[in-house]
Structure 1
Amino acid sequence: MNINMKMDFSSSLTSLLLLALSLPSEAGKCPRLCSCDSTKLTVACVGKNLTEVPPTIDEITVKLDLRSNNLQELPRGAFMLTPYLTHLNLQRCNIVKVKEGAFRTLGRVVFLNLAYNKIDILYQESFDGLSSLKELHLDHNRVEEIQPGAFTQLGFLNMLALTHNQLVYIPNMAFQGLNSIKWLRLSHNSLNNLAPEAFASLFTLIRLSLDHNELQFFPTQAMNRLREVTRLDMSHNPMIYLGEESVSMAKLTHLYLDHMSLQDLSDQALSDAPLLSHLDVSFNQLRYLEPLSGPKQLGSLNLTGNPVYCNCYMRPLREWARVGGVKLLGVCAGPPHLSDEPLQAVAPMDLRCRSRGEMLVDELEKEDENTESPPPTAKPKQKVKCPVNCECNTEAQHVTCEGRGHTKVPRGFPTKTQLLDLRSNHFHNVPASSFPGTSQVVSLHLEFCKIHQIEGSAFQGMKNLLYLYLSDNDLTSLAPGTFAGTPELTYLHLEGNRLAQFPGSALAVLPSLFVLHLERNSISTLQHTGLLSSSSPKLKELYLTNNTIASIAKGALGFSFLGTLHLDANQLLDIPTQALSEASNLEELSLSQNSIRWVGPNAFQPLSQSLKRLYMDQMGMEKMSKDALAGLGPGLTALTMRGNLLEELPDLSPLTGLEVVDLQDNPLRCDCSLLPLRRWMDNVSMEVTAICGHPAEIRGQKVKDVLVFSSCSEESFHPKEMVVAPRPRKLKKPKPNLSKGSGVKTRPVKPKVKLPKPSKNKTQIKLLSKTMIKSKKAV
C-alpha cells in the first residue's frame, strides 16, 4: 500500500470515527418510536399509540406528523418545544378537547390537520397563536358548537374544512376573524338554520360548500353578506321552493342546487345574480321552468333527472335558451311522443298543448268532481299560532322547542312546518297520533328526550317525513306499528338506545328506508325472521357498531341493495360468511374490534364481485388462510388489518386495485415465508408500512428495510395452508378504534422492481468488516 493510499485510508477512518461520535447526540433528539430526517427537518411518529407529544423532538423540526395516536387532549403549551413548525398533522388521534393555549407558540404553522378526531366544541381560545395558519382541517369530528371568537386569531387562513360534523345552527359572526378566507367547507352536517349574520365579515370568501345538510329554504339574508363568492354548492338539501330574489349574489358564477326536492323555481329567483354562468338543478321535481330573469351570461342549465313535461309551457324556456345560447341538459319525461328526447334537440314548435276543446272537457270533469265542496269566495286571513314555549319561523317553515322542559309533545304547530326540533325535552312516552297537522314536516328531531316507549301510530299522518332522529333515548323495543303513517321515511337514527333486538317488525312499514343507524344499542343476535328485509327493499346503509352481536343467521342480511355494513366493536368470533352471502351488492364492510382470531379460506367469496372497502383492525387476529381473501381482486380499493397479531399474511398480489393498505402493528415474521409480501411491496407505488416482529434481532425494523429476503430462493419458499386449532376465547372489551386506512392513496403499478441478489462472497464481507474494526482500534 503506497503512502497516498495509507493517508486516504487513515482519513476515511477518522471520518467514520467522527460520524460515530456524533450519532448518539443526534439520536437523542429523535424520540425512540419516531423516524426523523435531519436534512428535511421532519419527524414522523405515526401509529405509535402515543398519549402525549414526545418531549424530545428537535427544536428545529419543521414538519411533525403525529397521525393515528391516542393523544385525547391537547394541553396548554403542548408544542412549546417546537416553535419552528410549519406543518402539523394530528389526524386520527382521538382528540376530544383542545385546551386554551395548546398552539400558542406555533406562530409559523401554515398547515394543521385535526381531522377524524372527537372534538365537539370549538372554544374561543382553541386556535390562539396560529397567526400564520393558511389551511385548517376539522372534518370528521363531532363539532356541534362554535363559540364566538373561535377563529379570531386566524387572519391568514385560506381554507377551513368543517365537513362531516354535527353542526345544526350557525350563529351570527361565527367566522369573525377570517380576513383572508377563500374556501369554507360545511358539507355533511345537520344544518337547518343560518343566522342572518352567520357569514358576516367574510369579505374574501370565493367558494362556499353547504351541500348534504338539512336546509329547508335558501338562506337569502345570510348569503347577501357574501359579496365575493363565485361558487356555491347547496345540493342535497331538502328545499322545495326557490322564491323571488332568493339568490342575491353579485359575483356568483356557479350555483349547484341538484339532488334536492325542488318543485318550483321562480323566474325571478336569480334576478340578483347577473354573472351566473352555470346552474345545476338536476335530480329535482321540476315539471317545467320559465325563462330566468337576471343571469345575462348563463351558458349551461342542467335539468337532468327532472320529470320535465315537454308541452307548450316549456316553449318560452326553450326559445329563451335558443336566443341566449344557453345549453339545456336533460330529457323530456313526456308526452309519450317526446319521451327521452334531449331538451336541446326539441324544436320550440314541437312543444304544444292539447286543443282548447280537449282542455275544456277536462275542466268540466274536474268541476263535476268538486261540486260537493265548492271553494270559498274569499280566503280568510288566519293568524299563525305557535305552541307555548316554542319558536315558530313561518318564513323558514321551522319550529323549535329544543330544551324547553316539555313533558308532552306540544300541539298546534303551523301547518306548513317542515322542520320540527323537539330535542332535549322529557317526553318519556310518545302516545299514538302525537303529531296531528304535521303532514308537511320533512325532518323531526327527538334526540335526548328520555323516551322509553313509543306507541303504535305515534307518527301517523306524517306522510312527508324523510328524517327521523330518535338518538340517545331509553328505547328497549319498538312495536310493529311504531312508524305507521310515514311511508317516505328515508333516514332513521336509533343509535344510543337500549334496543335488545333488531326492530325488524317496526321497519316493515318503511318501504323507502335508505339509511338505518343502530349504533350503541344492546343487540346480541341478528335473526333471519327479525330483519324482514323484503319490507325495506331500498336499505343501502346499515350501522350496527358497538352492540353485542355474537351471531348472524343466514339470510339475516338479505337486503338486495345493501352497500355499507358496519359491524365493528361487537362480539363476533368468526367472519359471518354465510350471512354475507345474501348481501351481494355490499361495497363496504367493517369488522374491526371483534374477537376474530382466525380467518379461514374463502371468507369473503360471496362479496367477490362487489366489495371495495374491508376493515379488520384490532381483532386479535393471529392467522389467515392463504385463501382468506380469495375472490377479492381488482375491485378492492381499501384493506386495513392494523393492530392484530399476524406473523404471516396471504398473497396480496391479486388485489391490483388497492389504494389504501394498513398493516401496521402486526408482529410479522420476517423470513422467507414473507417473501411474497415483500415482493408485492416492492412492486406497488403506494407506501405500505409493515414492521418485523420476529426474529428478535430485527424486531421493530421495517419489512422493506431488512436484507433477510435477499437470501431467499424460489425453492426455499413453500406456501402452506395455515391451520390452527381453535383456542378457548374470552370476550374482551373492545379497544378504542384506530383509523381506517391510513395508507397513501395511489394506484399500484405493474411489477418491475427485482429484489437484490445474495452476495456471492460473504466471507470477503466478514473479513473486510473485521479489518475495519481492527484498524479503528489501532487509530
Structure 2
Amino acid sequence: MQVFSAVFLLILTLAITVEAKTCPRECSCDSTKLSTVCVGKNLTEIPPTIEEITVKLDLRNNNLQVLSRGAFLHTPYLTHLNLQRCNIIEIKEGAFRTLGRAVSLNLAHNKIEILYQESFDGLSSLKELHLDHNRIEEIQPGAFTQLSFLNVLALSHNQLVYIPNMAFQGLQNIKWLRLSHNSLNNLAPEAFAGLFTLSRLNLDHNELQFFPTETMTRLREVTRLDMSHNPMIYLGEESVSMAKLTHLYLNHMSLQDLSDKAFSQAPLLTHLDLSHNQLRYLEPPSGPKELTSLNLTGNPIYCNCYMQPLRQWVGVSGVKLLGACSGPPHLSDEPLQAVAPLDLRCRSREGSPVVEEEDEDEDGRVPPTVTVTAKPKQKAKCPANCECDTEAQHATCEGRGHTKIPRGFPAKTQLLDLRVNHFHYLPTNSFPGSGQVVSLHLQFCKIHEIEGGALQGMKNLLYLYLSDNDLRSLDPKAFAGAPRLTYLHLERNRLAQFPGSALSLLPSLSVLHLEENAISKLEASGLPSSVSSKLSELYLSNNNLTVIAKGALDSVSLIALHLDSNQLTEVPTHALLETPNLQEFNLSRNSVHWVGPKAFQPISQSLKRLYMDHMGMEKISRDALLGLGSGLQTLTMRGNQLKELPDLSPLSNLEVVDLRDNPLQCDCSLLPLRRWMENVSLEVAATCGHPPDLRGQKVQDIHIFKSCPENISPPEKTVVDPKVVKSKPNALKSQKVKARPAQPRGKVVKPPRKQPQRKPGTPKITKKKKTLK
C-alpha cells in the first residue's frame, strides 16, 4: 500500500511539473481566465510552449520583427491577441491562418509598411483590428477580403497618401473606419466601394484639399464623418451628398467660402461643425431639415447685414448657433446666438464653447454602440467539410483539400469561399442552386480550365476571384450565366492572350484585373463592344506587353489604365485617342527612354494622375505635357535619367509631384523649375545629379541659383480654385491679404496661398502684388 501511495504521489508530482512547464518561463499564465501574458521580455519569436487552450495572449513590447507562416499554429483557440510595440516589420502569408476564433487583434505601434493580399488570412471571426501607429503606405487589393465580420478597423497615424479603388473590399460588417493622421491627398472614386454597413468614418488630419464628393457618395449608411484638419478652402454646390449623414466635422480647416447648397444632398444633418476656419459670413444652408447645432466658433465672422439671413433662419428653425462676432467693434465678442437680427446692419470672432465631438475615443477603443463579441454561428445544412453561416449568408470550404466543387450550400448564400483547394477543372453547371451568390472566391485552386457554362445560373454574381490559378486561356463561354458580373480578378495566371472573346458575355464588367500574366499584345479587336462601354478600370501590370494597337481601347469608358511593369518602348498615344474619360494612367517600369511631343494630348482634358517612374527616361520633350493643365493633380517621374525637365507652370492644380532620383543638371538652365517650386504651395521632391559636388542635394536647398541672371521675371503665384467660386463680399481673409470692409455684393479676388518659407541662402524672388478691387 505504501509503495502504491509513493507511486501515485510521484505520478501526481510529474503531472504537476509537466503542467507547469506549459507556461513559458518568460510569461505569467492564468489557468482560470485561460490567459498568457509575456509583456516586455524582448522575445524574438512566439514562445512554443504556450498552452494550446489559451484564449487571451498578450505579447506587447517584445522584438518579434517578422510574423512567420503558422506563427500561432499551436494556439488555435485565441480570441484576443495583443502584439503592440513588437517591432513587427512584416506579416508573412498565413501568419494568422489558424486563428479562426480571434475577435480582437492589436498590431498598433509597429513598423509595418505594406498590407499584403494574404496578410490577414484565417481571421474569419475578427471584429476589431488595430493597425494604428505603423508605417503603412500601401494597401494591396484584397488585403481585407477575409475579414467579413470586422466591425472596427483602425489605420490612423500611418503614411497613407492614396486610397485605391476597392481597398477595403470584403469588409461586409464594418461599422467604424479610422484613417486619421495619415498623408492622404487623394481618394479613388471607388476607394470605399462595398462598405455598405459603415456608419462612422474618420479622415481628419490628412492633406485633402478638396471634398471627395464622388468617393463619399458611395457611403450610403455613414452617419458620422470627421474631415477636420484638412487644408480645404472651398465647398461647392452638392459637395456633401450623403443621405444618412447626421454629424459632420469640418473644423480646423482653411475654409474661406462655401456654397449655401454645399449640404443640399445631406437632408438628415443635425450637427455641423465649421469652427476654426476663415469664414467671414455664412448663408443659411439649404437641404438639412433637422439641423440642431451649427458651430462657427473661431471664424472671423463679421456681424453685418450679410449675416442677417443666417441669424433669422436660426431663430425660426431653432438651431443652436455657436460662435461670436469678430467685428464691428461694438459687437466684437458678442455671441452669435445673442445678436438680434436688427443689429446686423451692414457688420464674428472666437469665444463661446466648442462643440465636443460626441463619443470620440482618443485611445482608439470601440464605442459602446459597437459590439466586439463574436456571435455564435447558426448551424445549417452544409456540404461535408465546409462551414455555412445562414445569418451572415456566408459559406466556406477554404483549404479543405476538395477536388470537386461541393454541392448543397444554403440557397441564400451570398458569399461562397472555395479558395485553396484542388479543383483543376470547372465543368459546366458547377454551381447549381447558387443563384443568390454575390461573391465567389476561387483563388489558389490550381484551375487550368473553365468549361463553357461553368457559372450557369449565377445571375446575381458581382465579384469573381480567379487569381493565382493556372489558366492559360479561357473558353468563349466561360462566364456565360453571370450577366451581372462587375469585378473580375484574373491576376497571376498564365494567360498569353487578352481574353476578349470570353468577356463578350459580361455587359456589366466594370473592373478587370489581369496583372502578372503573360499577355504580349493588346489587339485592336481585343475588347468586345458589349464590354467596352462599361469597363472603367483595366489593370495589365506585370505582363509582357510590347504593343497596344491603335483602336484597342476605342469606345472604352476607362477611368484607370495600369500598364506598368511591361515592355513598352513608347507612350501608346495612338491607343488613347478614344479614351476621353481616362483619369489615372500608369506607365511606370516600362523601357520608355524618350517621351515625345503631345504624348498625352488625347487624354489631356480628363487626366488627373500620371505615373512614369523608373522607365529609364533620358529625355522628355518640351511639349510632352502639352494640353495637361489645371486638371492634373499627380505627376511622378521618379528614378529616371532626366537631366532637364519641361515647363511645369501650366500644371496649376498639382497636389503631388515626385521627381526624385533623376540626375538633374543643377545650373542656371534649371532656374525656371526652381522658381516654379518656390511659387507653388506643395512640396516638390527633386534632387540634383550634376554637378558632382551637388549630387543628392534637394533642388530647393542649393544656393547656386542666386548667381543666375535675373532677366526673366518670375511668374506670379497662381491661386488654385477647386471650383468656380461664386463671389461674395468679405468671404475671404488671409494673414497676408486683408479683405476690405463690408460692401454691397461684388467681386472678391481670392488671396494667394501661403508662400513657402524661404530657406537661408536661397535667392529672394520678388513677386507682383495682387490688388483687391
Question: Of 486, 496, 502, which aligns to 1:500?
Answer: 496
CA distance in 1 between counterparts of 2:464 and 2:529 reads: 20
After superposition, where does 1:618-657 map in structure 2 within 5 Å?
Answer: 618-657=614-653
| Structure 1 residue 411: Cα displacement | 1.9
Q: Deviations over 1:110-129 (max 9, x none)?
A: xxxx9xxx999796799867
CA distance in 1 between counterparts of 2:660 and 2:132 reads: 41
| Structure 1 residue 683: Cα displacement | 1.4
CA distance in 1 between counterparts of 2:95 and 2:536 reads: 26
Question: Of 471, 476, 484, which aligns to 2:467?
Answer: 471
Q: Deviations over 1:623-651 (max 9, x none)?
A: 01111111111111111111111101101
CA distance in 1 between counterparts of 2:643 and 2:97 reads: 46
CA distance in 2 between counterparts of 1:697 and 1:236 reads: 50
Question: Is 1:169–1:192's contact at 8 Å kept on the other side of the alignment?
Answer: yes
Identify if the C-alpha distance between structure 1 residues 143 and 611 changes in structure 2 by more than 3 Å, giving closer, same or farther. farther
2:671 matched to which residue of 1?
675
Identify if the C-alpha distance between structure 1 residues 603 and 155 changes in structure 2 by more than 3 Å, giving closer, same or farther. closer
What is the total number of aligned residue pairs between the two structures?
A: 480
Identify if the C-alpha distance between structure 1 residues 156 and 636 changes in structure 2 by more than 3 Å, giving closer, same or farther. closer
| Structure 1 residue 237: Cα displacement | 3.7
Question: Is 1:164–1:189's contact at 8 Å kept on the other side of the alignment?
Answer: yes
| Structure 1 residue 572: Cα displacement | 0.3
CA distance in 2 between counterparts of 1:178 and 1:680 reads: 38
Alignment partner of 1:506: what SS?
helix
| Structure 1 residue 399: Cα displacement | 1.3
2:304 matched to which residue of 1?
none
CA distance in 1 between counterparts of 2:220 and 2:662 reads: 49
Question: Is 2:431–2:454's contact at 8 Å kept on the other side of the alignment?
Answer: yes
Alignment partner of 1:606: what SS?
helix
After superposition, where does 1:434-473 map in structure 2 within 5 Å?
Answer: 434-473=430-469
Identify if the C-alpha distance between structure 1 residues 430 and 194 changes in structure 2 by more than 3 Å, giving closer, same or farther. closer
Does 2:752 correspond to 1:756?
Answer: no
Does 2:567 correspond to 1:571?
Answer: yes
1:423 matched to which residue of 2?
419
CA distance in 1 between counterparts of 2:564 and 2:655 reads: 22
CA distance in 2 between counterparts of 1:491 and 1:564 reads: 14
2:661 matched to which residue of 1?
665
Question: Of 530, 546, 552, which aligns to 1:550?
Answer: 546
2:681 matched to which residue of 1?
685
Identify if the C-alpha distance between structure 1 residues 615 and 280 changes in structure 2 by more than 3 Å, giving closer, same or farther. closer
| Structure 1 residue 540: Cα displacement | 1.1
Pair member with larger Rg = 1
Q: Deviations over 1:745-776 (max 9, x none)?
A: xx977899897389xxxxxxxxxxxxxxxxxx
Question: Of 514, 526, 529, which aligns to 2:525?
Answer: 529
Question: Is 1:122–1:150's contact at 8 Å kept on the other side of the alignment?
Answer: no
Does 2:165 correspond to 1:214?
Answer: no
CA distance in 1 between counterparts of 2:614 and 2:406 reads: 47
Identify if the C-alpha distance between structure 1 residues 172 and 447 changes in structure 2 by more than 3 Å, giving closer, same or farther. closer
Q: Deviations over 1:569-598 (max 9, x none)?
A: 000000000101121111111111000000
Identify if the C-alpha distance between structure 1 residues 665 and 748 changes in structure 2 by more than 3 Å, giving closer, same or farther. farther
Alignment partner of 2:657: what SS?
strand
Identify if the C-alpha distance between structure 1 residues 302 and 696 changes in structure 2 by more than 3 Å, giving closer, same or farther. closer
| Structure 1 residue 436: Cα displacement | 1.2
1:406 matched to which residue of 2?
402
CA distance in 2 between counterparts of 1:599 and 1:257 reads: 36
| Structure 1 residue 714: Cα displacement | 6.1
After superposition, where does 1:563-602 map in structure 2 within 5 Å?
Answer: 563-602=559-598
Question: Is 2:702–2:762's contact at 8 Å kept on the other side of the alignment?
Answer: no
Task: Choose 502-511 or 401-410, whichever is displaced more.
Answer: 401-410
CA distance in 1 between counterparts of 2:216 and 2:687 reads: 48
Question: Is 1:617–1:644's contact at 8 Å kept on the other side of the alignment?
Answer: yes
Identify if the C-alpha distance between structure 1 residues 456 and 280 changes in structure 2 by more than 3 Å, giving closer, same or farther. same
Letter in 2 for 1:601: P
| Structure 1 residue 691: Cα displacement | 1.8
Identify if the C-alpha distance between structure 1 residues 153 and 525 changes in structure 2 by more than 3 Å, giving closer, same or farther. closer
Unaligned runs of 5+ in 2: 1-41, 45-57, 76-80, 155-162, 178-190, 200-214, 222-239, 246-263, 269-288, 292-378, 714-751, 766-773
RMSD of aligned alpha carbons = 5.4
Identify if the C-alpha distance between structure 1 residues 625 and 749 changes in structure 2 by more than 3 Å, giving closer, same or farther. farther
Identify if the C-alpha distance between structure 1 residues 552 and 159 changes in structure 2 by more than 3 Å, giving closer, same or farther. closer
Question: Is 2:543–2:565's contact at 8 Å kept on the other side of the alignment?
Answer: yes
After superposition, where does 1:679-758 map in structure 2 within 5 Å?
Answer: 679-713=675-709, 756=763
Question: Is 2:85–2:110's contact at 8 Å kept on the other side of the alignment?
Answer: no
Letter in 2 for 1:518: L
User: Which of the two has greater helix per residue?
Assistant: 1
Q: Deviations over 1:661-695 (max 9, x none)?
A: 11111111112221211111121222223222122
Identify if the C-alpha distance between structure 1 residues 565 and 219 changes in structure 2 by more than 3 Å, giving closer, same or farther. closer
Question: Of 130, 133, 138, which aligns to 2:85?
Answer: 130
Question: Is 1:171–1:194's contact at 8 Å kept on the other side of the alignment?
Answer: yes
CA distance in 1 between counterparts of 2:655 and 2:148 reads: 38
CA distance in 1 between counterparts of 2:578 and 2:106 reads: 51
Question: Is 1:510–1:536's contact at 8 Å kept on the other side of the alignment?
Answer: no
Question: Is 2:423–2:446's contact at 8 Å kept on the other side of the alignment?
Answer: yes
| Structure 1 residue 454: Cα displacement | 0.5
Question: Is 2:546–2:566's contact at 8 Å kept on the other side of the alignment?
Answer: yes
Alignment partner of 2:526: what SS?
helix
TM-score normalised by the chain length of structure 2: 0.53
Identify if the C-alpha distance between structure 1 residues 468 and 593 changes in structure 2 by more than 3 Å, giving closer, same or farther. same
Identify if the C-alpha distance between structure 1 residues 624 and 151 changes in structure 2 by more than 3 Å, giving closer, same or farther. farther
| Structure 1 residue 402: Cα displacement | 1.1
Question: Of 384, 389, 392, which aligns to 1:393?
Answer: 389
Identify if the C-alpha distance between structure 1 residues 402 and 559 changes in structure 2 by more than 3 Å, giving closer, same or farther. farther
CA distance in 1 between counterparts of 2:512 and 2:420 reads: 22
Alignment partner of 1:679: what SS?
helix
Letter in 1 for 2:453: S
CA distance in 2 between counterparts of 1:579 and 1:507 reads: 20
Letter in 1 for 2:520: S
Q: Deviations over 1:453-506 (max 9, x none)?
A: 101111011000000000000001111111111111011000000001111111
Letter in 2 for 1:214: G
Letter in 2 for 1:654: P
Identify if the C-alpha distance between structure 1 residues 434 and 123 changes in structure 2 by more than 3 Å, giving closer, same or farther. same
Q: Deviations over 1:349-377 (max 9, x none)?
A: xxxxxxxxxxxxxxxxxxxxxxxxxxxxx
Letter in 2 for 1:130: R
Letter in 2 for 1:585: N
Q: Deviations over 1:63-90 (max 9, x none)?
A: xxxxxxxxxxxxx999xxxxxxxxxxxx
CA distance in 1 between counterparts of 2:152 and 2:604 reads: 51
Question: Is 1:127–1:151's contact at 8 Å kept on the other side of the alignment?
Answer: no
CA distance in 2 between counterparts of 1:557 and 1:533 reads: 10
Identify if the C-alpha distance between structure 1 residues 573 and 413 changes in structure 2 by more than 3 Å, giving closer, same or farther. same
1:616 matched to which residue of 2?
612
Alignment partner of 1:661: what SS?
strand
Letter in 2 for 1:530: G
After superposition, where does 1:133-212 map in structure 2 within 5 Å?
Answer: 145=96, 167=120, 170=123, 190-191=144-145, 212=168
Identify if the C-alpha distance between structure 1 residues 442 and 606 changes in structure 2 by more than 3 Å, giving closer, same or farther. same
2:505 matched to which residue of 1?
509
Identify if the C-alpha distance between structure 1 residues 236 and 177 changes in structure 2 by more than 3 Å, giving closer, same or farther. closer
| Structure 1 residue 144: Cα displacement | 8.1
CA distance in 2 between counterparts of 1:630 and 1:200 reads: 46
Question: Is 1:103–1:127's contact at 8 Å kept on the other side of the alignment?
Answer: no
1:762 matched to which residue of 2?
none
